[in-house]
Structure 1
Amino acid sequence: MEEKLHSRNFKRWGLDMNPVVSLGAGIIVLLFSAFAFFNLEQANKIFELVNSVIVTNFDWLFILSSSLFIGICLYLAFSRLGSVRIGGVKAEPEFSNFAWYSMLISAGMGIGLMFWAVGEPLYHEELMPPIFTDANGVNQALATTFFHWGFHPWGIYALISLALAFFAYNKGLPLSLRSVFYPILKEKIFGLWGDLIDILAVVACLFGLATSLGLGVQQINSGLNYLFGLNISVMIQVLLIALITAIATLSVISGIDKGVKFLSKINIKMVLVFMLAILTLGPTLFILKTFSNSLGLYLNDFLKSSFFISLSESSWQGDWSVFYLAWWISWSPFVGMFIARISKGRTIKEFVTAILFVPSLLSFIWLSVFGGTAIYINQLFNGHLFATVENNLPVALFELIQYLDIALLQGVIRIVLSVLGTLLVISFFVTSSDSGSLVVDNITSGGKLDSPVPQRVFWACMEGLIAIVLLLIGGEEALSALQTAVISTGLPFAIILTLMAILLVGSIRKTYKKQKDIKDNDHFEKMIETFDVQLDEDAVS
């Protein structure tokens, strides 16, 4: 069935892209950039208004749908359907467990944890959110942060990646978002309807990646300013994006098995070293106790908080929980496509439990180490660290290390940790960029996994170019407009994912019966072979 889509591609200048999806997404990117260039202030107002309407009127949809996704994932994993293997009964995993975990964590939210691990717990301790209220401020702050970075985002990712992998590897459809709608659209997924779905996915991926690149280089710039006195300026950030894009391009050329896998494994090793260093040199007992108490609070109040919808005019839930859920949902086609690409050969139970629980647990530990240390230092220094977070969030991680240096460390160790933190931020950005380029390339080529190298290079450069153009047009204000636009796509994606979840369960049930019949037949044939061998042995005797 893939040929029906691939036959519509054109092959010129070493490219192999679906012209409708590629040109459609490109036109939307150009229109947005032009709008921002000619009237950035008006663009910001329009996107903020749209986002405000979505958050105010559809907060219930984001909250209920994301909780539903977790329930469906758990049902698929721990029911009899969990035995279904992605790619067929005899499919084998392409990557080792460590490489697999490393890639899905790096693509999923590695850079976000670097950016928010210090600042967000301090914000929640100050703001006193309306969830996890039966606890002191420290535990409430961390449990709320767990809520935003734990099972809910990974439940969204697990569901969409499972759907994409299942329809691609078990049904022989292109690895593209359009394929999950085959049960209702049938052959129409190879036409205009499928193109529209993929255009939306490409735009969300490109804008999401460009936003992350643009906002993230501010943290890298802050780190370099802190370490070497390098000026914080738009031109420095443009050069940093160009450098990150160049490294990501080399990784994309190398492919998943060499480039992306290699960098992701390095990422996880650096994460462990960095985290253990802060845990050991920071307030260790405070971190351990806070982790245990906050995790217990998060798990105990999980259901209540998952279905909490504020009835007041307070903006906290819209500014935080709904904002995050909309961002995760709009980001999910990118993460889901990448996880699906690397997950052939896993059973549904193995797939869901690994994606839902392993990254969540690692996130809880990471947030406890950095968030707990931030809260401890903030209390020790009378709120000075929170003042830094409010004024300049990108530099918060490096300020945390500086405060540790004053309290506990020697200057050399402080510099080493700051360098390691900066390298880790850069490394996460590279892995996000290269994995994102491969995903966009897959979609625009009609689901192909072996598209030409020039095409991979094209999309890697396109992501960096969008971020650079917006930085030059309006700096942080332009990137903020883009981020608001991306979040707005969360609403149609939330509806799409809900429909997709229903289609997925029905399709997996049918496949379960087929795979069970194959296993039963194999078992019966082995019994016959054993019986025949026994007869031969008896005859010889």
Structure 2
Amino acid sequence: MEKENLSKKLYSRNFKKWGFDMNLFVSIVSAILVLAFIIFTIAKPELSKTTFNNINNGLNENFNWLYVLTINLSFIFLLVIGISKLGRIKLGGFTAKPEYNNFSWYAMLFSAGIGIGIFFYGVAEPIYHESIPQGLSSGSTFDNFKVMYMHWGAHAWALYGLVAIGLGYFAYNKKLPFSFRSLFYPLIKDKIFGIWGDIIDTFAVLAVLFGLATSLGLGAKQINSGMNYVFGIPVSSTVQIILIVIITFIATLSVVSGISKGIKLLSQANTIISGVLLLAILLIGPTVYILSTYMSSMGLYIKDFFGAGLFTATAADDISWQGTWTVFYWAWWISWTPFVGTFIARISKGRTIREIAIGTVALPTVIITIAMTILGASGVYTNDLHGGVIKQAIDSNIATAMFEMFRYMIDSKALQMVFSFVAIIAIVLFFVTSSDSGSLVVDNLTSGGKQDSPKTQRVFWALMEGLIALSVLLLGGEAALKTIQSAVVITGLPFAILLIIMMYSLSKELKKSYKKHEYNTILKLKRRMDKLDDDVEYKQ
């Protein structure tokens, strides 16, 4: 009751006019910081680029071990609580039921968590990883796929599952605000309802906004490159503006209609279209080579799971490679936990901790590794067969690699066009579903944790994401977008520390909750036994 009163006090500080219900501190400070950063990036592009590159290099050289530690601890922690007795705890309480069926749940989970990575990096990454540090090499010809699985598989998804369980538990079971601040209740207690909670949420909002705006801006350039390659549409800022406007418009309609309609339906469509496209590539492409590559690579990935996952570079060249790839990816995934983890928590009420722990790691890892192997093995096969044409496309413009693969893998020009068109639709849908789910998360964070904020506010944040991407792209270009991307990756360091602290506090809270869960289980069984006794007595 006391926590509910404090939540009401938190909401009473919100600005409630003109269709808004915002926490003023989080909203205004976030807006000011975003604006200041954009102005600095655009006004001083070289200085900002140099500054953030130097910071990134310093973090990579001195804290690569921390990113590696956080990723592996998150996986082990999630595995332990998932298979332990704590895994029986439900988000929302003993009697809660899932709000979405399994297909809808997985579709939304994939659409928010994967983005366009499958199609953008799937073809290119195995070719990039033909040269890796000695410490990661097993001597196998499938080491390149093993490294790709490590970057996109269980380690990354464990982070999202961890935050989803933590936030879902504190919000649904402990009746705390549905906001990132609630993860730290065991540490700072009622201070989450004050300035400390506001600071935590502001930090999370910045990570989400910058991450989504960067993806939207770079994605528009990637889609434009693909459209130019396939349809001859020129690569220009005008086309990219139109793409961002269209994606933002569709995402706005989706987020206004809510999770149960727009976001769910678009995610389902996205999953089906992507699945059909990948299945078609598997059947038309080098099927036996793809399946053989997957079996061998997955065996190697499982065998070297902790050896590769715990690899921490010490030599200068290896540090540089790991900073460009592994540390970059893992810092990026960590910085995206406020977005993806919060969204997964939002759609997971009624599910047990075990369901979420296994559901966000096992199946996503299998599916994403299969998907990227279909593209990656097809790319490697085509590249070897045609004298390095895919590598040339990657070096020239990575966005065209998949379309170049279609050109050499499929004999019919008409079929090449069909595959390319479907691929562009799938990529656009991935951006839309990332944008609308991200807008919903920002809406939760800026309202102090409310799940039922006004539609006007959802529209505002969806439009803000589009405007940030437009302004940076038009005024600062790709260099400005990459600088913002570097800034997002830098936020991975403090989030890494917070995640380690959160694991400790969450374990303590779950142990307390389990006792209550067991009491409710025994009580439920006793009621059933009493009912059976009553029925037997009545019949007699």
Fold shared, TM-score > 0.5 on shorter chain: yes
Cα distance in structure 2, aligned partners of 1:518 and 1:128: 53
Cα distance in structure 2, aligned partners of 1:110 and 1:365: 16
Cα distance in structure 1, aligned partners of 2:87 and 2:256: 35
Of 186, 190, 193 in structure 2, the residue corresponding to residue 187 of structure 1 is 190
- Residues 63-74 of structure 1 correspond to what in structure 2 (within 5 A)? 63-74=68-79
Shift of 1:135: 3.6
Of 126, 129, 132 in structure 2, the residue corresponding to residue 128 of structure 1 is 132
Shift of 1:132: 4.4
Q: Provide the secondary structure at the position in 2 that maps to 1:311.
A: coil
- Residues 301-340 of structure 1 correspond to what in structure 2 (within 5 A)? 301-314=304-317, 315-340=320-345
Shift of 1:529: 2.6
Q: Provide the secondary structure at the position in 2 that maps to 1:46.
A: helix
User: Which residue of structure 1 aligns with residue 209 of structure 2?
Assistant: 206
- Residues 119-518 of structure 1 correspond to what in structure 2 (within 5 A)? 119-125=124-130, 127-137=131-141, 139-314=142-317, 315-405=320-410, 409-518=411-520
User: Which residue of structure 1 aligns with residue 66 of structure 2?
Assistant: 61
Cα distance in structure 2, aligned partners of 1:35 and 1:323: 23
Cα distance in structure 2, aligned partners of 1:54 and 1:217: 29
Contact 1:260 1:434 in 2 (8 A): yes
Contact 1:131 1:144 in 2 (8 A): no
Contact 1:36 1:473 in 2 (8 A): no
Shift of 1:184: 1.6
Cα distance in structure 2, aligned partners of 1:155 and 1:537: 53
Aligned residue type for 2:444? N
Contact 2:119 2:375 in 1 (8 A): no
Of 511, 535, 539 in structure 1, the residue corresponding to residue 537 of structure 2 is 535
Cα distance in structure 2, aligned partners of 1:262 and 1:495: 36
Per-residue CA distance 1:443-467 (angstroms, 9 max, x = gap): 1011111111110000000001111
Cα distance in structure 2, aligned partners of 1:65 and 1:36: 30
Contact 1:221 1:232 in 2 (8 A): yes
Q: Provide the secondary structure at the position in 1 that maps to 2:336.
A: helix
User: Which residue of structure 2 aligns with residue 84 of structure 1?
Assistant: 89
Q: Provide the secondary structure at the position in 1 that maps to 2:176.
A: coil
Contact 2:219 2:431 in 1 (8 A): yes
Identity of aligned residues (%): 48
Aligned residue type for 1:133? S
Distance of aligned partners of 1:131 and 1:220 in 2 relative to their CA distance in 1, 3 Å threshold: farther
Distance of aligned partners of 1:172 and 1:145 in 2 relative to their CA distance in 1, 3 Å threshold: same
Shift of 1:533: 3.0
**Matching of residue 13 in structure 1 with residue 18 in structure 2:** yes
Aligned residue type for 2:413? G
User: Which residue of structure 2 aligns with residue 110 of structure 1?
Assistant: 115
Cα distance in structure 2, aligned partners of 1:399 and 1:175: 45
Cα distance in structure 2, aligned partners of 1:456 and 1:323: 31
Please, which moves more after superposition, 243-252 or 389-398? 389-398
Contact 1:234 1:475 in 2 (8 A): no
Shift of 1:131: 5.0
Contact 1:442 1:448 in 2 (8 A): yes
* Pairs aligned (count): 533
Cα distance in structure 2, aligned partners of 1:246 and 1:129: 44
Please, which moves more after superposition, 336-345 or 35-44? 35-44
Cα distance in structure 2, aligned partners of 1:532 and 1:109: 53
Q: Provide the secondary structure at the position in 1 that maps to 2:358.
A: helix
Cα distance in structure 1, aligned partners of 2:438 and 2:451: 14
Cα distance in structure 1, aligned partners of 2:292 and 2:429: 31
Per-residue CA distance 1:321-358 (angstroms, 9 max, x = gap): 01100000001110011000000000111111010111
Aligned residue type for 2:433? T
Cα distance in structure 2, aligned partners of 1:264 and 1:94: 16
Contact 1:9 1:19 in 2 (8 A): yes
Aligned residue type for 1:69? S
Cα distance in structure 1, aligned partners of 2:516 and 2:460: 41
> What TM-score does the superposition give when structure 1 sets the normalisation length?
0.97
Cα distance in structure 2, aligned partners of 1:48 and 1:238: 27
Aligned residue type for 1:280? L
Please, which moves more after superposition, 529-538 or 247-256? 529-538
Shift of 1:523: 1.1
Cα distance in structure 2, aligned partners of 1:59 and 1:234: 37
Cα distance in structure 2, aligned partners of 1:135 and 1:274: 33
Contact 1:177 1:333 in 2 (8 A): yes
Cα distance in structure 2, aligned partners of 1:537 and 1:392: 78
Q: Provide the secondary structure at the position in 2 that maps to 1:507.
A: helix
Shift of 1:530: 2.1
Cα distance in structure 2, aligned partners of 1:243 and 1:335: 23
Contact 2:230 2:403 in 1 (8 A): no
Contact 2:252 2:462 in 1 (8 A): yes
Cα distance in structure 1, aligned partners of 2:431 and 2:244: 9
